[in-house]
Amino acid sequence: MTTTFKRLIVILVAAACAWLAAGTPLTAGQARVKDIAALQGMGTTPLLGYGLVVGLSKTGDKRQTLFTTQTLANMLTRLGIDVPSEEMKVENTASVLVTAELPSAARMGQRIDVLASSVGDARSLQGGTLLITPLRNGRGEVVAVAQGPLSVGGFGGGTSGTSVMVNHLTVGRVPSGGLVQAAPAQMVTTADELTLVLHDPDFSTAARIADALNENFKTRVARAVDASAVTVAIPDEYRGQVPQLMARLEAVTVRPDAAARVVINERTGTVVVGYGVTLGPAAVAHGSLSVRISTKYEVSQPQPFSKTGETVVVPNETVEVQEGAAQLVKLEEGSTLEAVTRALNALGATPRDIIAILQALKASGALRAELVIL
């Protein structure tokens, strides 16, 4: 057997294993249960702590940031060094708030990522190291500690008007910088059923999840309670084996449903039109009015060798008003997303124009969708 043939066999076997591991590909519009719902009680716990970042290159907090000097003085006192805080210069130190998310399944000794954000007037956390910082939950309990070098994801240099900065330098991440000290209480299921909570409550999606699970188990084990919850009776073969049951439940595919929705962000001019958006009969006219004011300065000066007169700067202002030609586009009953997009493009509308048009359509009752303005 030649070397090339052996390599071909290895490649084919690897591809087959990858295909088997990936499972059946999702068809258009389908999603796994694990992507649209989660087991009730499973979630993350936000953590918060206050600490110091040291090792900065004169980009830390200034002397007027009193809490930084006081924190540094307190820390040095605990280390046996007594220095008055008012005599400190802390250009290489910055106070930060440290945040993290503690997974519900975290165990003692597990590592988590932490985020450090400056709370003083530091210019950059680039190159800094986070000192040991206790992280507390909402009840004030210390459940993790964080420490390590910061990764800022940018760089900066220079001073005053000759400086350059790439990305945001006052926030840094410490990958795997948090160490879990106390594991959260594990949810032990002793009841006869589990509850799946939908990320986006919807009656149709909840009913479809229940139907898909019943079809998968060939018996009626699931029931939609309301728009956000589906209960699943634990089969006898999965008693005491909740992880195995959840693994089977999460792999079931469902076609989720959602309300027709249009999302608008007026600050950025972003418009996202969701699936199922339709229009009632309407006519849209759109025109634009622009006013342009320009000023040109002209210099008037006396003739050469003139004994009288002076140089005068005279402004010459011009005002121009232009109104774009308005076009009337008729939208038929039940027009779909494709028809709406084609009609608005025919008007030559910009994203901000589309925002105004959609708001007017909603006000007139022709837009059959929820309008969400961010």
Is residue 143 located within the same domain as residue 54? Answer: yes
| Whether residue 89 is found in the same domain as residue 170 | yes
Pick from 297, 294, 292, 260: which is nearest to 277 by CA?
Answer: 260
Sequence-distant (≥ 6) Cβ neighbours of residue 334 within 8 angstroms: 278, 279, 280
Q: Report yes or no on 344 lying in a domain.
A: yes
Is residue 75, in this structure, part of any structural domain at all?
yes
Ordered DSSP codes for 29-58 = T-EEHHHHEEETT--EEEEEEEEEEE--SS
The Cα 102–Cα 186 span in angstroms is 13
Residue 326: per-residue pLDDT: 54
296: enclosing H helix or E strand: strand 289-300
Residue 358 lies in a domain: yes
Cβ of 337: how many Cβ atoms within 10 Å? 17
Q: Is the dihedral of CA 336, 338, 342, 344 positive or negative?
A: positive
- Residue 6: both structure tokens together: 């052996």
- 178-188 burial by CB neighbour count: b if 16+ within 10 A, else e? bbbeebbeeee
Answer whether residue 364 is part of any domain. yes
Which residues span the domain enclosing 125?
Answer: 44-155+164-180
Same domain, 286 and 357: yes
Report if residue 27 sits inside a domain: no
User: Same domain for 206 and 231?
Assistant: yes
- 207 and 80 inside one domain: no
Closest CA relative to residue 340, chosen from 353, 350, 330: 330
Q: How far apart are CA 69 and CA 76, in angstroms?
A: 11
Cβ burial of 127 (10 Å; 0-12, 13-18, 19+) is middle
Which of 237, 254, 271 is the last residue in one of the domains? Answer: 254
72 and 138 part of one domain: yes
Query: Helices (H), strands (E): how many in the chain?
Result: 7, 23
CATH number at residue 192: 3.30.1370
Find out whether 80 and 114 touch, Cβ atoms under 8 Å.
no
**Do 169 and 196 belong to one domain?**
no
**Contacting residues for 352 by C-beta, under 8 A, at least 6 apart:** 266, 269
The rounded distance, in Å, linking the Cα atoms of 345 and 341 is 6
Residues 212 and 174 in one domain: no
Same domain, 143 and 217: no
Give the count of domains, the chain.
3
Cα 47 from Cα 50, distance rounded (Å): 11
CA dist list (Å): 136 to 99, 141, 289, 353: 9, 5, 56, 47
- Considering the domain architecture, whether residues 219 and 295 belong to the same structural domain is answered as no
Is 17 a domain residue? no
- List Cβ<8 Å contacts ≥24 apart for 248-251: 248/216, 249/33, 249/194, 249/196, 249/213, 250/32, 250/33, 250/34, 251/23, 251/32, 251/33, 251/34
Q: What angle do CA 48, 49, 54 make, to 5 degrees?
A: 140
- Using a 10 angstrom Cβ sphere, with 0-12 exposed, 13-18 middle and 19 or more buried, the burial of residue 24 is exposed
Evaluate whether 135 touches 49 at the Cβ level (below 8 Å). yes
Same domain, 222 and 239: yes
Reduced DSSP (H G I as helix, E B as strand, rest coil) percent helix, strand, coil of the chain, to 5: 25, 35, 40
Same domain, 241 and 121: no
- The whole-angstrom separation of Cα 358 and Cα 364 is 10
Residue in 80, 182, 95 with CA at minimum distance from that of residue 136: 182
Q: Which residues of the chain, if any, have pLDDT below 70? A: 1-28, 154-167, 185-191, 285-297, 299-300, 305-309, 313, 315-348
Chain segment 197-211, per-residue pLDDT in tens: 998 899 999 999 999
Beta 261-265 vs 370-373: how paired, if at all? parallel
Give Cα 287 distance to the centre of its chain: 35
Instruction: Tell me whether residue 13 is in a domain.
Output: no
- The SS3 call for residue 94 is strand
In a domain, 24, yes or no: no
